[in-house]
């Protein structure tokens, strides 16, 4: 059977999103900047879709800027915050378990004389608000802390850290990469208190190539792309109206059915952990995950890449960590200080609203067989 348990890497586009994109590409292909009626209709639909995203984020539509992906949003947030804070200092705080879309631009800034503090997680995969408090300096301009870790499923204490950072200095900007948290864990931007927040469509059953930056009202960010002045002059370029249509359609499904989806994923994850523990000798749970859709396990002594390939040969898709790492041991699991044998055998299992018990059973049975074959060999 085909079992797809890698929803944190990407998700299938839901029919509602695909249909919305198709209609926008064919019947409603107008340019929202065009003055003709056709263009103006496209502009109206664009704004209605912005309102759906705003509803999901708990913000106003003018705080929603469309962009191409999570990576673009993370890069922009960091570059813009640094630019805004350039007279105040060159210190940035982040965590050691961010996605490379945050870590790489920060590494580039380090090469330009910025000082980066990377907060380490505890063994359970959570960073500590006290560590953030201790790291704050008079020259800190930005904190970038993800909401849900993409490999562990742990929820980071973003709201508490925002309060600590803002109490230290209201001028410190706070960005969160909410690519894995959006709609999987309920939040509003006001509850979090962040200035900047990044999301990506392809994690929520919209297509790849669409994302959103939430920018708190009043924050004057330098533009990401200059040109025709679309997206309030912040990100020029004709809007990808079909992608935006699909994103809003997928988002609307989560708004209508999110409680059901989240409960289903949480139940399935608990079932998976139970099945894996009971059927696969020696399997360790590395992270049960706070978010409903991600957990990580390890089969010490069995290299992840070998496991992923062997499972894939049987039609079962899981990941050896973030899909962006392509075979290198993950910095996230390494940051937990796991023993080498455990670290090298890690698998991320992640769920979507349509995941089934049969898929979980297929994974547990296949892993048990791989394990028993090796033991018997
Ligand atoms: N941030 C996190 C936490 C992610 O999991 C991902 C994708 O895996 C990204 C950022 C990058 O998003 P995108 O693939 O839309 O560029």
State the DSSP string of 185-253. S---HHHHT-SEEEEEGGGTTSPSS-EEEEE-TT--PPPSB-SS-TGGGTB-S---HHHHHHHHHHHHH
Residue 305: DSSP 8-state: H
Q: Is the CB of 82 under 6 A from ligand 1?
A: no
Q: Is the CB of 329 under 6 A from ligand 1?
A: no
Per-residue pLDDT of the chain (377 residues; tens, 9 = 90+): 899 999 999 999 999 999 999 999 999 999 999 999 999 999 999 999 999 999 999 999 999 999 999 999 999 999 999 999 999 999 999 999 999 999 999 999 999 999 999 999 999 999 999 999 999 999 999 999 999 999 999 999 999 999 999 999 999 999 999 999 999 999 999 999 999 999 999 999 999 999 999 999 999 999 999 999 999 999 999 999 999 999 999 999 999 999 999 999 999 999 999 999 999 999 999 999 999 999 999 999 999 999 999 999 999 999 986 544 555 678 999 999 999 999 999 999 999 999 999 999 999 999 999 998 876 44
Q: Is the CB of 178 under 6 A from ligand 1?
A: no
Q: Is the CB of 146 under 6 A from ligand 1?
A: yes
User: Radius of gyration over alpha carbons of the chain, in Å?
Assistant: 21
Ligand 1 mean position, distance from CA 252 (Å): 21
Assess contact for 151 and 331: CB atoms under 8 A: no
Residue closest by Cα to atom 14 of ligand 1: 70
Ligand 1 mean position, distance from CA 71 (Å): 6
Ligand 1 mean position, distance from CA 211 (Å): 10
CA 161 to chain centre: 19
CA distance 5 to 60: 34
Token output for 98: 């961010």
- Triad 130, 123, 288: Cα angle to 5°: 115
Assess contact for 19 and 253: CB atoms under 8 A: no
The answer to whether residue 59 is catalytic is no
**Tally of CB atoms within 10 A around 345:** 25
Assess contact for 364 and 272: CB atoms under 8 A: yes
Q: Tell me whether strands 173-177 and 140-144 are parallel, antiparallel or unpaired.
A: parallel
Q: Is the CB of 99 under 6 A from ligand 1?
A: yes
Token output for 185: 């864990």
**Tally of CB atoms within 10 A around 237:** 15
Ligand 1 mean position, distance from CA 98 (Å): 10
């Amino acid at each position: 059977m085909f079992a797809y348990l890698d929803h944190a890497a990407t998700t299938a586009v839901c029919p509602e999103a695909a249909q919305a994109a198709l209609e926008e590409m064919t019947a409603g292909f107008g340019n929202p900047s065009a003055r003709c009626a056709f263009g103006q209709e496209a502009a109206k639909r664009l704004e209605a879709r912005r309102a759906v995203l705003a509803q999901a984020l708990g913000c106003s539509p003018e705080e929603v800027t469309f962009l191409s992906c999570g990576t673009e949003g993370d890069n922009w947030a960091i570059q813009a915050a640094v630019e805004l804070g350039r007279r105040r200092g060159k210190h940035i705080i982040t965590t050691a378990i961010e996605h490379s879309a945050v870590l790489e631009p920060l590494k580039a800034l380090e090469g330009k004389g910025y000082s980066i503090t990377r907060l380490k997680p505890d063994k359970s995969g959570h960073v500590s608000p006290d560590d953030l408090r201790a790291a704050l300096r008079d020259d800190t301009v930005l904190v970038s802390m993800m909401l849900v870790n993409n490999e562990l499923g742990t929820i980071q204490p973003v709201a508490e850290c925002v309060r600590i950072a803002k109490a230290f200095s209201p001028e410190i900007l706070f960005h969160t990469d909410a690519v894995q948290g959006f709609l999987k864990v309920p939040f509003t931007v006001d509850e979090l208190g962040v200035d900047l927040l990044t999301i990506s469509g392809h994690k929520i059953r919209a297509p790849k190539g669409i994302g959103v930056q939430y920018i708190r009202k009043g924050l004057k960010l330098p533009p990401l792309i200059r040109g025709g002045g679309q997206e309030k002059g912040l990100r020029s370029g004709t809007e990808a109206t079909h992608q935006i249509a699909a994103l809003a359609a997928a988002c609307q499904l989560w708004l209508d059915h999110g409680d059901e989806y989240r409960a289903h994923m949480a139940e399935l994850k608990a079932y998976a952990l139970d099945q894996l523990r009971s059927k696969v000798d020696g399997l360790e749970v590395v992270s049960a995950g706070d978010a409903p859709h991600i957990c990580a396990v390890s089969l010490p002594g069995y290299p992840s890449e070998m496991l992923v390939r062997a499972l894939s040969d049987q039609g079962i898709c899981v990941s050896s960590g973030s899909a962006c790492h392509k075979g290198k041991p993950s910095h996230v699991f390494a940051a937990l200080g796991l023993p080498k044998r455990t670290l090298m055998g890690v698998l991320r299992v992640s769920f979507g609203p349509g995941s089934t018990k049969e898929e979980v059973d297929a994974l547990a049975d296949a892993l048990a067989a791989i394990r028993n074959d090796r033991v018997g060999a």
